[in-house]
Structure formats: structure tokens, C-alpha cells
Amino acid sequence: MANLFIPGPTDVHPEVLQAQSRPMIGHRSQACVDLIARTQPKLRTLFGTEQRVFLSTSSGTGLQEASVRNCVSEKLLVCVCGAFGERWFEVAQQNGIPAEKVTATWGQANTPEQVETIMKKKVFDAIAIVHNETSTGVENPIQAIASVARALNPEIIVLVDSVSAVGGVEIRVDDWGLDVVFTSSQKCLALPPGMAFAAVSDRALHKAESVHHRGWYFDFLLYEKFLKRNLTPTTPAISLLFALDAQLDRIFDEGLENRFMRHRDLAARTQAWAKEKFDLYADAGVRSKTVTAVKNTTGLRIAELNQYLATHNMVIANGYGNIKDITFRIGHMGELDLQSLETLIDLVDKFSSQNNQSLDHGSSQVHTEIR
């Protein structure tokens, strides 16, 4: 295992892959009701909520669209500090929902001060924040931002894209006053892609009651009606539900605190190495615990590096969005351990030194050799 050093999909444990191959059951059967009922308390613990966690057969972006469709009737304030914040603004626009951005310089985090300034001038009924900006490797201070927004407007709905954080980084939906927090199956939760999960507050559901044209597939009120009976409105990806049930058990066997600590350790090791050999894109103090954006200061050819890594069944990620060509990214989320990270680092160092040698001699021979 431990081959995918990309920010999703991540490696899936063989036991979890095995769980997916169980014989099919009907989605209205007692067995499916029991399955959904079994996962609910585990999901609630994971998100830090006593409210509810919706199960969606879509990728995470489906629930991003759902959150703006269900929870905004006036205007959405979108915190942007990278490509996934921009995505959120586009999703709002394409759904005809008025939205305004508050933007941080890429590599920096959005701040409570920024949000306070704009909220003192204008009225918003919802605010959207990316928990962990996967393009720049920045973690946003969502607790502080939510707290400032709530102080200025007690009714505001706080929407959080925690796709690359839930399961790798602590999140406390109820304590932090968050309303919709979604994640995808294929990131820190280390499940195959195909499902997404959203903790949704009573306040968000109450708001949805007053919002028109919520859509049908992602209507939160319909989800709630079915989830009360441990069902989903339409046929869920049942194989993935089997996998989810098994993986949540594995996650709690490891222990949430241990899992968060493992992600912190992986980030610390990756970032210490990257700072020494290259440079880091994100500012100190806001660096992500699940993905590192490395400034490609030595002009490493990432496609060639990945060809080399592929011979060891490993892969890292390109830069993303506007910073595609000046960065590369190392995902350290899911089931990865320090030992496989050390192996990856050794291989990148080896490739780098061969790369430098070939540059010194003005020849591309080394590249041909290691291919």
C-alpha cells in the first residue's frame, strides 16, 4: 500500500476493498436500514455533531452545490484563498445565487478580520469557507472565522468545504457553530471515490424551509425525511456504504486523536524536507496537515519524476490552478505512514540529484536511464 501521495483519491486498505465486494442488498431492505443506522453515530462522532450526517452518492462537489442551493436566499460571502474557494464562487454563480468574494493572497489564509470588515459593510445570509485549501496547502482558521461571522449575524449559515480535512484534521461542527460541513469519501477517509458526507445543522434545515428551488436530487429536506428512517431518497452506492462501515471501525480503532497526530507528523516531516530542498508555498503558521504545496525552486520536471516514481508504484501531484507550473504537491492524507513517506522522500532526493547532475553536464542522458 501507500502509493498515492496525491490529495485524493488515497490508498484504500485491503479490508475495506474487501468489504465492497459483499453481495448486493436492496436499498429499501432492513439490511440497508441497519447499515445506515450503524454508520450514523460513527459519522456524527467523526464530524463532532449530535445532529445528523447526510449520505450522498456524488463526489464532494455535489454537496457543495447542495449547500448553496439549500442555504442561501439573499447573498453568499465566499472566502477565497485558492482554487477551491474560487470553485465555490463559481458554483454559486452557476446556480444563480448572488455571491461576493473576500480574497486572501494565495499562500495565505482567510482571516476573521477580513470577514469582519466586509460583514460590517454588507449583509450576507451565508458564508462559505474552505477548511483546507488543497491547491495552496493552506488550512483556514474556520473556528475563528465562524465565530466572528456568528457574532455579527447570529442567523448566518456557515458552509464549510472540509473535503481534504475531515478524517485527518479535527473538526467540531457543533462546538464551532458550523452549519453544513461536507467531505468526500476519497480523501482523508481513505475510501474509494463515489460518496460524500455532510454534517447539517438544525439551523441549516430550518433555513432550507424558506429557500425556493432547492433542486430535487440534493434537497436537504428530502434527505432529512429519509434519513429519519435510515434511508436515502434515491439508491445509494451500497458497496461504498459497506466500505464506509468497515473503514469507520478502522478509524476508531486507530483513534481519532492518533489519526490527527499521524497527519500532523506526516505534514511536519514533509514540510521540513521541502523547506530544506525546495521552498514552501504556504505561509508559516497556516500550513496544511494533509497536503503540502512545494515551490518548485529547482525546476524539477514533475512528469519525469512521476515516471520514475511509477517504477516504485508511487505518484505525487502536479500544482493546481494558477500555480500549476510553479509548484508540485505531496498529499499526506488517509492511511499513509511515516515509513512510506521516507521511501518517497529518498526517491525524490535520488531523482533530484540525478536531475542536477544531468543539468550540470548539459545532457539528458540520466533521464533516459531512470525512466
Ligand X SMILES: *Cc1c(COP(=O)(O)O)cnc(C)c1O
From candidates 60, 177, 319, 331, binder to ligand X by CB under 6 A: 60
From candidates 86, 161, 179, 219, binder to ligand X by CB under 6 A: 161
From candidates 56, 108, 111, 134, binder to ligand X by CB under 6 A: 134
Interacting span for ligand X (CB under 6 A) from 57-65, 71-79, 111-119, 264-272: 57-65
| Strands 180-184 and 279-280, bridge-based pairing | unpaired
Question: Would you count residue 192 as binding ligand X (CB under 6 A)?
Answer: no
DSSP 8-state class, residue 24: P
Q: Within 10 Å of residue 41's Cβ, how many Cβ atoms?
A: 12
Question: Would you count residue 163 as binding ligand X (CB under 6 A)?
Answer: yes
Interacting span for ligand X (CB under 6 A) from 127-135, 210-218, 220-228, 326-334: 127-135
Q: Cell numbers of 115, please?
A: 470577514
Question: Would you count residue 7 as binding ligand X (CB under 6 A)?
Answer: yes
Shortest CB 26 distance to ligand X, Å = 27
Shortest CB 109 distance to ligand X, Å = 13
CB 155 within 8 A of CB 149: no
Cα 83–Cα 89–Cα 90 angle in degrees, nearest 5: 85
Question: Would you count residue 57 as binding ligand X (CB under 6 A)?
Answer: no
Shortest CB 183 distance to ligand X, Å = 8
The pair phi, psi for residue 202, each rounded to 5°, is -60, -40
Considering beta carbons, is residue 59 or 95 the nearer one to ligand X?
A: 59
Shortest CB 227 distance to ligand X, Å = 21
Within 68-87, the residues that bind ligand X by CB under 6 A are 84
Question: Would you count residue 184 as binding ligand X (CB under 6 A)?
Answer: yes
Rg, C-alpha atoms of the chain: 21
Shortest CB 189 distance to ligand X, Å = 11
Shortest CB 162 distance to ligand X, Å = 8
Shortest CB 107 distance to ligand X, Å = 16
Within 86-125, the residues that bind ligand X by CB under 6 A are none
Considering beta carbons, is residue 45 or 59 the nearer one to ligand X?
A: 59
Considering beta carbons, is residue 61 or 147 the nearer one to ligand X?
A: 61
CB 179 within 8 A of CB 200: yes
Within 262-301, the residues that bind ligand X by CB under 6 A are none
Spell out the residues 6+ positions from residue 253 whose beta carbon is closer than 8 angstroms to its own.
Answer: none
Kindly state the number of chain residues that form the binding site for ligand X, as judged by CB under 6 A: 13
Interacting span for ligand X (CB under 6 A) from 159-167, 221-229, 298-306, 316-324: 159-167
Q: Cell numbers of 233, please?
A: 431518497
Whether cis (ω within 30° of 0) applies to the bond prior to 9 is: yes
Nearest of 230, 213, 232 to residue 222 by alpha carbon: 232
Interacting span for ligand X (CB under 6 A) from 31-39, 43-51, 56-64, 324-332: 56-64
CA distance 66 to 44: 19
CB 317 within 8 A of CB 137: no
- Burial (CB count within 10 angstroms: exposed 0-12, middle 13-18, buried 19+), residue 81: buried
CA distance 324 to 271: 19
The pair phi, psi for residue 182, each rounded to 5°, is -120, 155
Question: Would you count residue 9 as binding ligand X (CB under 6 A)?
Answer: no
CB 316 within 8 A of CB 306: yes
Interacting span for ligand X (CB under 6 A) from 55-63, 90-98, 206-214, 256-264: 55-63
Please compute, for residue 315, the number of CA atoms within 13 A of its CA located in the half-sphere on the CB side: 13
Site of interaction with ligand X (CB under 6 A): 7-8, 59-61, 84, 130, 132, 134, 161, 163-164, 184
